[in-house]
Structure 1
Amino acid sequence: MAGAAALAIALVALNACTGGGTPPVTGQAGNSPATAAPATGTAGTSTPGAGTPGTLTPGTSGEPKVVGRVDGLQLPWSAVYLPDGTAVISERDSALLRTIKAGQLGTIGKVPRVVPGGEGGLLGLALSPNFATDRYLYAYFTAESDNRIARMRLDERGGRLELGVPEAVFTGIPKAGTHNGGRIRFGPDGFLYVGTGDSQRREQPQDPKALGGKILRITADGRPAPGNPYGENPVYSLGHRNVQGLAWDSAGRLWASEFGPDVNDELNLIVPGGNYGWPDVTGAPHRSGFLDAKVVWPSTATSSPSGLEIVNNTAYLGALRGQRLWVVPLNGEFASAPVSYFTGKYGRIRNVSLAPDGRLWLLSNAQNPDFALILDVPG
């Protein structure tokens, strides 16, 4: 199988990990602008309820445990899981779809018409909610003139997965060397949510008619989803700089991670029609007309949050520049103080996703080589 020579699986144990840098702040309100307060969570501590500090001691049940690692990837960006547990992983620059099944690394094929460059390339993946019958894999990628979403069938023949011809379902998302967004996920309502970046066009995020700097909500065929806040318009929320993570809590609330400029990375609670401020404001400035972030990392050196997953009402965020995993307990519409793990140990964490067996997968862009890390998390 392709890439098997580069494959290595190692079982490792987590030693104590630490946070560092400027502590994050947490928003303490619901859907209205939050009131920010200094975070009490540093390495080894958390805040289970707003303003109620608690202790998380390394080595207890609150700590993620590394149980596996698969090497041989190159700039992995996103992962989804087939019904049999096979992981399908996008590689940004090669435009390859890779697989990991039973610890073996393979390749399905190359997605055509991907034009990588800078932060662009083959980015987010999502499986159709009806995959068992339609076999559709959705991909967000950078093309010649735009960022777009295409779907393609993943059929199995002779024990091998074969990639069908891509069908573009949504086009025209602005592209640039940076700020291409790229995260896509089907929500509990069956619609596809799309995180876009401002593509360095600062006029786009505040314009509800533009696609840049938004979270979009569309049907599986690429049309604006019914019930969107601006009518026959795919825009679901606006005022974003570069959305990188999308996930839902147990009550169906949507949360999103977002890069700040040189300050104020964000974890946001997303509401329909909500305006999250960029480029007029960042973080949680309590400015009328804008929604405050629920968690703000004042120093992007400690975060640059990319992939996001929520398990048991706990948000797990991969940090690129911060090279760590941030863990944020959620309590309804409130976010408690983040706790960091693996600081500097596994490189730039691009993606966090939940596998069917309940384990959390991290995709690292350590580049020597890149790899998938498999975790057990507290139940």
Structure 2
Amino acid sequence: MPRRSPLRAAWAAAAAALSLAAAACTTNPVPVPSDGTSPAGPEAPTVAARIDAGLTLPWSTVFLPDGAALISERDSALLKVVPPGGSGPAATVGKVPDVVPGGEGGLLGLALSPDFASDRFLYAYFTAQADNRIARFRLDDRGGRPVLGAPDVIFTGIPKASTHNGGRIRFGPDGFLYVGTGDSQRRDQPQDRNALGGKILRLTPEGKPAPGNPFGHNPVYSLGHRNVQGLDWDRAGRLWASEFGPDVDDELNLIVPGGNYGWPMVTGAPHREGFLDAKVVWPSTAESSPSGLQIVGDTAYLGALRGQRLWVVPLRGDFAGDPVAYFTGEYGRIRDVSRAPDGRLWALSNNQNPDFVLVLSLRR
């Protein structure tokens, strides 16, 4: 499959040697590295439990220090808490104010502060009346139950639409907040460095552009994205992101600072000068539409919406191997994949009425 060139000439030479795009229906083995070692096989998921917590359109999960799971519901704007290990029914923590749901918008991604033990901050990405924005809340503990404090809106102006609102937020190993946004059906946004749509943003915990960003005092970390809903880092600190294609070419991308991933000029891995190739390409969006992303060890786990399955992708350095599908059509649309403190994965179903949590154990 042809490949695109990156922005910088120096990086292009290395990327040309290392880049490997994959499709679900093609052979894309993880290359044996130059030291001659063989990559470990992916950890396969098996169903350990199903938690019928009475959820409605859950979107994101974070885990509190005691192991309880905090889950956002897109349309209701409610935060629900499930006891550790799913040992009881979900309870409502609170409703995030000023959420205006509609289409794919509403209460979306959640993230806990890296200093949660001391500052008790919960971050939420949501659709408001005029934009998508990020607020943080103190999550107090009263009698062993979390209580939602007043919102402090730290970042505004992310464009909204009925679709392509992005919404995933996650703190990176560097302590900064990374934000996946969508193009909000505005095709001029992703290639404009001064626009917030179609980007991955990198912010301080206070919502300012993080120091060291590639375009100076600008929140943009990478550009040329269509709709990013999955972010995670591998064990070496490399950032990976899942992205929706149009009617073709869903993507798993390896993100570099200042990288341009092509939308709307190109999709997938066509080897166009000035753009970075996707590492995995699903030519048929009916097989994927990847949303939440969780990396464990050398393996990426992606929830598929239209594809109604869990994709498992082996990673080795800058390479990504053949995606392998699990649970195809068995549990409906999978919105999010997150790792619980006990090492198991929690996968959120969507549009099952009611929705549920699928708890997955990993084995080689």
After TM superposition, the score normalised by the length of structure 2 is 0.91
Q: After TM superposition, list the pairs within 5 Å mapping 1:210-225 onto structure 2.
A: 210-225=195-210
Separation (CA, whole Å) in 2 of partners of 1:340 and 1:236: 31
Separation (CA, whole Å) in 2 of partners of 1:327 and 1:122: 27
Which string of whole-angstrom CA distances, capped at 9 and with x for unpartnered residues, describes residues 342-379 of structure 1? 00000000000011111111001042320111111136
Which string of whole-angstrom CA distances, capped at 9 and with x for unpartnered residues, describes residues 166-213 of structure 1? 000000000000000000000000000000000000000000000000
Contact 2:22 2:281 in 1 (8 A): no
Residue 116 of structure 1: SS of its match in structure 2?
coil
Which residue number corresponds to residue 96 of structure 2?
111
> 1:289 and 1:175, CA in 2 relative to 1: closer, same or farther beyond 3 A?
same
Q: After TM superposition, list the pairs within 5 Å mapping 1:205-284 onto structure 2.
A: 205-284=190-269
Q: 2:62 aligns with which of 77, 80, 86?
A: 80
Q: 2:165 aligns with which of 149, 166, 180?
A: 180
Separation (CA, whole Å) in 1 of partners of 2:145 and 2:29: 47
Which string of whole-angstrom CA distances, capped at 9 and with x for unpartnered residues, describes residues 50-70 of structure 1? 6999998xxxx9431111111
Structure 1 segments, 4+ long, off by >2 Å, are 25-42, 46-56
2:15 maps to 1:69: no
Contact 2:20 2:320 in 1 (8 A): no
Separation (CA, whole Å) in 1 of partners of 2:360 and 2:266: 36
Structure 1 letter corresponding to 2:361:
D
2:77 maps to 1:95: yes
Which residue number corresponds to residue 9 of structure 2?
none
Contact 1:47 1:329 in 2 (8 A): no
Give the deviation of 1:49 after TM superposition: 3.6
Q: Which runs of 5+ in 2 are unaligned?
A: 5-11
Which string of whole-angstrom CA distances, capped at 9 and with x for unpartnered residues, describes residues 2-25 of structure 1? xxxxxxxxxxxxxxxxxxxxxxx7
Residue 286 of structure 2: SS of its match in structure 1?
helix
Which residue number corresponds to residue 340 of structure 1?
325
Q: After TM superposition, list the pairs within 5 Å mapping 1:38-57 onto structure 2.
A: 47-49=29-31
Separation (CA, whole Å) in 2 of partners of 1:308 and 1:297: 15
> 1:369 and 1:37, CA in 2 relative to 1: closer, same or farther beyond 3 A?
closer
> 1:106 and 1:201, CA in 2 relative to 1: closer, same or farther beyond 3 A?
same
After TM superposition, the score normalised by the length of structure 1 is 0.87
Q: After TM superposition, list the pairs within 5 Å mapping 1:157-176 onto structure 2.
A: 157-176=142-161
Q: 2:344 aligns with which of 327, 349, 359?
A: 359
Give the deviation of 1:34 after TM superposition: 3.3
Q: 1:203 aligns with which of 169, 181, 188?
A: 188
> 1:374 and 1:332, CA in 2 relative to 1: closer, same or farther beyond 3 A?
same
RMSD after superposition: 2.4
Q: Which runs of 5+ in 1 are unaligned?
A: 1-24
Give the deviation of 1:158 after TM superposition: 2.0
Separation (CA, whole Å) in 1 of partners of 2:72 and 2:56: 9
Residue 132 of structure 1: SS of its match in structure 2?
helix
